[in-house]
Each structure stands twice: as structure tokens, then as C-alpha cells.
């Protein structure tokens, strides 16, 4: 079963409070989501392998560490996932960015892929799928399935807020995928919103209603 990591770092928790608040406008919301995504990426990449290298400092020769050439990829689920990409790229500028767009078929209620553009060397990359809200988990589970069908092997899921239902769905569908969140909220309400949550993440990021 995939693990669930809840990041309780004070900066993440502080910023998440303002992300949630109705008093936070679009500009600040976008900035805070980017900042929290960056802080979460810092925590979620703790397991990246290092290797030794030898360099010359102005004072001496030193044997030090660099990342061991792991290739990374970020895959936002459209559209709200876009809000987390730049924060992660601030830390990992060499990461490639793929995109997945899904909609729910009104008849079958199943997620249907309408857009998918992923790095060609997907199977060689450590991939971080991002979506601010893990609600039912249907979109995240489907996006991960589509990525695996194209060869992805090493996938993490990073969300700001999860509902217990969403975690359960992803864990059942993809026991190999670890989930990284800043908070696990109480439940979903009758309209499918995470409660207390932050509302519609896409609308709040892009100023739409
Ligand atoms: N998507 C959102 O943007 N917010 C929720 O609460 C649930 C799904």
C-alpha cells in the first residue's frame, strides 16, 4: 500500500490557512499555492539519490554530493494542477512537464482523457503528479492509470488537501503510489467539495466562477 505523507511543516500549515480563507484574493492565492508547492516538493524529494563528486573550492579540493542524475517529471492534472507547477520548477528547473486533461463523462461518470502530452522518456523519470485537491480521487487515479499505460513506472501524487475518500481510491487503484499532502480534511460534501477545503481550486487560481 502506498504511504500517505502529511507535511506538518509550520510554513506549509501557515500558508495553507491563508489559501483556505475566503479573504484571500486571486493574486495572493496563486502565489501561496506556488509557495506551498515548492515547500512540498522540497519535502517530497528527500529520497532522491546522491552521488559523490570532486570539486575545487577557492580553498581546497572537496569531495561533495550532487543529485545522481535522476530525471524528474511534473504532471499537472488540468486545470488546477497548473497552479503547482512553477513552485516545483523553482526547485527543480530541469524537470520536464507533462499535462493531462480529464473530464467526467456525464453518462458513465467515468473520467475521459481529452488531453495528454507527456515526456517521451516517461519510463526513465521519477514523476510527480500534481492536483491541489484530492476529492473523490477519480481523476487522480485515472491520470495515474493513463501515465502507466504510456510507460510511467515511478509515480508520486502531490496535493494540497485530500479527502479520506480520495486517498482510499488512489491507494486501492495504485498501491505503488505514495501520496503527499499538506492536510487531510474531514470529508466531501454533497456537491463533491472537500470540507472545509478551500472551494474550487481552479476558479480561485484563475479568477473564474
Ligand atoms: N475540486 C476542487 O477544486 N475543490 C474541491 O473541494 C473538490 C474538488
Going from N- to C-terminal start, the domains of the chain cover 4-46+71-206
Domain 4-46+71-206: assigned CATH number: 3.40.50.2020
| pLDDT at position 56 over 80 | yes
Residues at CB less than 6 angstroms from ligand 1: 80, 133, 135, 192-194, 197, 200-202
Give catalytic status of residue 145 as yes or no. no
**181: β partners:** 6, 159
Phi and psi for 105 in degrees, rounded to 5? -60, 125
Helices (H), 61-177: 82-91, 138-149, 164-173
Atom 7 of ligand 1 has which residue's CA nearest to it? 193
Among candidate residues 42, 8, 4, 2, the one with its CA nearest the CA of residue 182: 8
Give catalytic status of residue 204 as yes or no. no
Q: Find the catalytic residue in 24, 86, 104, 145.
A: 104
Q: Find the catalytic residue in 24, 86, 145, 203.
A: 203
Average pLDDT over residues 96-104: 95
In this predicted model, what pLDDT tens digit does every residue of 61-84 receive, in sequence order?
999 999 998 799 999 999 999 999
pTM of the model: 0.95
Say whether 126 counts as a known binding-site residue.
Answer: no
In this predicted model, what pLDDT tens digit does every residue of 148-179 receive, in sequence order?
999 999 999 999 999 999 999 999 999 999 99
| pLDDT at position 109 over 80 | no
Helices (H), the chain: 10-20, 26-44, 82-91, 138-149, 164-173, 201-206
DSSP structure class, residue 208: -
Q: Find the catalytic residue in 108, 125, 190, 208.
A: 108
Amino acid at each position: 500500500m502506498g504511504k500517505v505523507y502529511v507535511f506538518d511543516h509550520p510554513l506549509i500549515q501557515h500558508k495553507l490557512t491563508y489559501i483556505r480563507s475566503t479573504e484571500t484574493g486571486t493574486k495572493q492565492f496563486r502565489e501561496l499555492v506556488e509557495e506551498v508547492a515548492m515547500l512540498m516538493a522540497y519535502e517530497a524529494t528527500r529520497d532522491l539519490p546522491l552521488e559523490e563528486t570532486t570539486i575545487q573550492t577557492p580553498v581546497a579540493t572537496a569531495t561533495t554530493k550532487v543529485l545522481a542524475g535522476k530525471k524528474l517529471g511534473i504532471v499537472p492534472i488540468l486545470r488546477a494542477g497548473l497552479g503547482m507547477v512553477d513552485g516545483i520548477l523553482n526547485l527543480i528547473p530541469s524537470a520536464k512537464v507533462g499535462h493531462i486533461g480529464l473530464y467526467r463523462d456525464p453518462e458513465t461518470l467515468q473520467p475521459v482523457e481529452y488531453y495528454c502530452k507527456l515526456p517521451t522518456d516517461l519510463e526513465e523519470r521519477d514523476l510527480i503528479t500534481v492536483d491541489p485537491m484530492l476529492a473523490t480521487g477519480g481523476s487522480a487515479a485515472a491520470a495515474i492509470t493513463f501515465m502507466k499505460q504510456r510507460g510511467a513506472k515511478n509515480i508520486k501524487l502531490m496535493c494540497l488537501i485530500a479527502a479520506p475518500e480520495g486517498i482510499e481510491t488512489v491507494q486501492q487503484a495504485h498501491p505503488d503510489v505514495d501520496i503527499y499532502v499538506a492536510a487531510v480534511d474531514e470529508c466531501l460534501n454533497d456537491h463533491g467539495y472537500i470540507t472545509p477545503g478551500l472551494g474550487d481550486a481552479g476558479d480561485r487560481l484563475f479568477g473564474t466562477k
